Amino acid sequence: MSLDTEIEQAFHAFWMTGATNEDWDAWANHLTEDVDYVERQLGTMQGREAVRTWITELMAVSYDVHAVLNWYIVAGDRVVFDMWNRYFHPDPEQPPIDFAGLTVLTYGGDGLFRREEDYWDQATAATAYAEWHAACKESGSKGDPEHLTALDAQRKADQLETLRTGRIR
């Protein structure tokens, strides 16, 4: 197997575990024990267990935000990907409320990443949250549970398709 293929397979597992299936505890296992995690807005963490603690606590309170992969590229020992951070609008007639993110992963071997750098616009994230929160308040809920379940199922199906076709070559 080529290194590109190995890295791509590691990225697929990384993405499916965390961003698609939202199993953040298991997602941390896709990082090396000594990972260098640089979150440009929230700070730098060292080590898998520090990242695991941070991400599981963060996503326990940010569970309404879901990731949508737009594209990715494997270049050398790195994976760069573009994504939306998405809130589902409570009104099914309205589009989702998104803010952009970009991540650079550095491969460490054995299916694990040794560095992650996350970039996103904090002002746009705050605006998206405020818009979503206002829409929830106006509608009196986060939306119809069946509709939200269907939207999330579609998001997951779209992730699989993007992983299949979304690599820039």
111 burial (CB, 10 Å; 0-12 / 13-18 / 19+) is middle
- What predicted TM-score, i.e. pTM, was given to this entire model? 0.92
Round to whole Å and give the CA distance between 30 and 110: 9
Please report, for the chain, the start and end positions of each structural domain, with discontinuous segments joined by +. Answer: 3-164
Smallest CA-to-CA distance from 52 within 60, 133, 93 is with 60
Position 98 scores a pLDDT of 96
Over residues 9-36, the mean pLDDT reads 97
CATH 3.30.70.260 is the classification of domain 3-164: no
Q: Say yes or no to pLDDT of 145 above 80.
A: yes
The pLDDT tens digits of the residues spanning 36-80 come to 999 888 889 999 999 999 999 999 999 899 999 999 999 999 999
pLDDT of residue 168: 59
User: Is 20 in contact with 161 (CB distance < 8 Å)?
Assistant: no
Q: What is the pLDDT of residues 93-144, one digit of tens each?
A: 999 999 999 999 999 999 999 999 999 888 999 999 999 999 999 999 998 8
CA neighbor of 50 nearest in space, from 75, 68, 31, 66: 31
pLDDT at 169 > cutoff 80 = no
